[in-house]
Each structure stands twice: as C-alpha cells, then as structure tokens.
Amino acid sequence: MTRIAILGYGTIGKGVAKMIDLLKDKYDLKLAKVLDLPSKKDELGDLLAANIDEIANDESIDIVVEVLGGNDFAYMCTKKCLLAKKSVVTANKEVVSNNIKELYKLAQENGVNYLFEASVGGGIPLIRPLIENIKINDITSICGILNGTTNYMLTKMQEDGLTFAEALKLAQVNGFAEADPSADLKGLDMVRKISILTNIAYKTYIDPKNVYHYGIENVTKDILADIKTRGYVLRFVAQSSLVGNDVTVRVEPTLVKPTHPFASVCNEFNSCMLDCTTNDKILFYGKGAGSIPTATAVAGDIIQIVENKAFYEYNPVNDYEVNKLSNNGNMYYVVGDTSDIKPDLSDEELSKYKFYARIF
C-alpha cells in the first residue's frame, strides 16, 4: 500500500483527495494525513495533521502532495519531506520555478522523486512528454498560452465584446481568477511556468526574476477592435528560445493570425508548442486550470511513483544566461495616440506606449 499525505486542503487539495479515492483500489493508495489549518478539523477529523513534522516524521507515509501555494512555507515543507525520504508531488509552480535546482538535487540525494507535472498546463500531459522528448531532440524554442484566466478573459473580450472589467468579473465568478488576479494579469504566473519549461528543455537554470513580462491590464475594447481590423487575434503568450548560450524568455501580449494554432485556443484552455531539432513542431492543448485537471496531473505523478516509472531528469548541465536585449527582428503592434506597427523596438521604447503586443 502507498500512503499519501496532502499539504493544503483547498480547491486542488480536495480534487487530489477525490482522485486518490477514485484510484485507491486500482493502485492500492490510502490518504493518510492532510495538513491544513486547525479550522478544518470538523471536515478532516483524524486525517488532519497538527504540523508538517507530524507528516515528515511519519515513516508510514510514502508520498507527499504539496498543493499549498505560495513559496516560503511550501518550500520548507517540501524540503523536510524530501529529507525524510518521501517523494513529493506538487502543483506549486512558484516553489518549482524558484527552487527546482535545489529540490531536485535533494530528491536525488535521498533516493526519492520530486515531480511537478501539475505545475504547468494543468491537465495537459506536458512535463513528461517534454522530458521524454529531450532524450532524443534538442529543443530550440517553447511558446505557450499557459494561463487559463487571462486566456478566458481575452476570449470573452474578443468574442463576446466584454470590457476588461466585465471579463475579469466573469472569470472570478466562474472560479478561474483569484480574488487578487494580479499574478495572472501581469504575466507572473506565466513567468513561473515558462521558467520551469525552459529549465527542463534547455537543461539549465534561469531565475524567474530575470524574465521579462508585460501584462494585459491596458487592453481595451477599442484596441481589440483595431487589432481585429488589422486581421489579428490577441493572445497572452510566454515564449522562450535558445540561441547559442543565450536564452530569451518573455511573457507579453501577442498578435497571431486567425490561422495560427493559438488563435483556436479559447477560454480556459492552454496550449504549448515546442520546436525540436528532429521532431520539428509539437503542440499540446488542453485545460490549463481547474481543480480536477490539476488533480489528474498530480494523480498521474503518483501513479508513476507507484509503478516505479518515475524519473530524475532535471539535469542543469548548461549555464545559460537570460538575455534581455534581443527584440531585433521582431515586429510590434503599438498603441500611443494612434496605433502602429513597428520593428525592432527595445523594451525601453516599448514601455513608452499605452499598450503593445508582439506580432507572431
């Protein structure tokens, strides 16, 4: 039997508990402990652990699922569990993007797994195919719509004519946007996700703090009407490319033609395209957010561990630098007093406009 603890009993934690229940007979799983606030005692009963040490010190627990969110406490808990030789499965992109190098090494040293399929692209199988892929390909670029909330908003604005405020409200009502949506709107959520993919794909470590991002807060109905007239669709895109030893990673509004695969990625769906040296382009698409898609990704990682098919594959042999100055060759749609299309603008020049989007 594999005994599992869940750290954090919020939307995703509850989804994970549901998946464990669904799979418990087939894979001989048992939910043994849950860490959350004492106020959850009524709901959780004896499952509720008093603190992380109760879980880390419990030798009968094999796998810990970390779905706390936030960095510091979650990082501390992860470290304790790995040191106690428990595999950790997580959906926490903040912890993974900040600490992947250290936590992966710690897992290896302790003979356990640190798996995070759920941290990028929710229910889309993405991390594992990427890891399989780099065994036989080099990847030269990654490009993705990796945030369900903002893609939902942009879809509702462009297809149903909602204002930014209305679209945000609707996203919140439908459970896609957080009460404080700024990490989504400013692109910080995608910074974390593209950093994780970049690290795995290029076998390097980049600090998410060095990733350029420009948000969608200044998008208006007028701007979207103008973009439509010009024959484009607006998407919020994270992009990462490797040229020589330079990694360029940017998260910014992006215009695509209606025939581009990203144009048909609507609502809370996500998509990610890889450019590979032997396989050419590969694209994945699916639900990027929500309790159940994320919980299925966590469940997939648990099954990998149970079946002994998990892996240590993050091996940052390369020491690439994030290059901030490579806008040459790019075309930009810019909005000042009027709108225009211009090539090769620096980040400083771009910052002077009310709004801009890169053109794919």
259 binds a copy of itself (CB under 8 A): yes
Stretch near a copy of itself under the rule CB under 8 A, chosen from 36-44, 62-70, 276-284, 351-359: 276-284
Q: Would you say 204 and 316 are in contact if contact means Cβ atoms under 8 Å apart?
A: yes
Q: Is 193 a catalytic residue?
A: yes
**Cα(36)–Cα(126) distance, integer angstroms:** 29
Considering only 30, 71, 102, 261, the residue that binds a copy of itself (CB under 8 A) is 261
Considering only 80, 260, 324, 342, the residue that binds a copy of itself (CB under 8 A) is 260
Helix axes 72-83, 93-109, angle to 10 degrees: 20
Considering only 311, 318, 341, 347, the residue that binds a copy of itself (CB under 8 A) is 311
285 binds a copy of itself (CB under 8 A): yes
**Cα(65)–Cα(214) distance, integer angstroms:** 32
137 binds a copy of itself (CB under 8 A): yes
Q: Give the three-class secondary structure for 341.
A: strand
**Cα(141)–Cα(275) distance, integer angstroms:** 5
Tokens 């798996």 sit on residue: 115
Q: Would you say 240 and 230 are in contact if contact means Cβ atoms under 8 Å apart?
A: no
Q: Would you say 217 and 119 are in contact if contact means Cβ atoms under 8 Å apart?
A: no
Considering only 132, 207, 222, 344, the residue that binds a copy of itself (CB under 8 A) is 132
286 binds a copy of itself (CB under 8 A): yes
14, 33, 156, 193: which one is catalytic? 193
Nearer to a copy of itself, 272 or 350 (CB): 272
DSSP 70: S
Q: Which helix (H) or strand (E) holds 277?
A: none
Query: Which two structure tokens, joined as six digits, stand for 8?
Result: 């954090």
Nearer to a copy of itself, 22 or 170 (CB): 22
As measured in angstroms, the least distance from the Cβ of 94 to a copy of itself is: 23
As measured in angstroms, the least distance from the Cβ of 330 to a copy of itself is: 22
x/- map, 24-53, a copy of itself, by CB under 8 A: --x---------------------------
Q: Name the residue among 65, 71, 170 with its Cα closest to residue 116.
A: 65
**Cα(132)–Cα(310) distance, integer angstroms:** 12
Considering only 136, 225, 325, 341, the residue that binds a copy of itself (CB under 8 A) is 136
243 binds a copy of itself (CB under 8 A): no
299 binds a copy of itself (CB under 8 A): yes
Please give the size of the binding site for a copy of itself, defined by CB under 8 A.
Answer: 44
Q: What is the dihedral of CA 337, 342, 347, 350, to 10 degrees?
A: 10
21 binds a copy of itself (CB under 8 A): no
**Cα(15)–Cα(168) distance, integer angstroms:** 24
**Cα(172)–Cα(168) distance, integer angstroms:** 6
125 binds a copy of itself (CB under 8 A): yes
Q: Could you list the residues that contact a copy of itself (CB under 8 A)?
A: 19, 22-23, 26, 123-125, 128-129, 132-133, 135-137, 258-261, 263-265, 269, 271, 276, 278-287, 292-293, 295-296, 299-300, 303, 307, 309, 311
Query: Which residues have a catalytic role annotated?
Result: 193
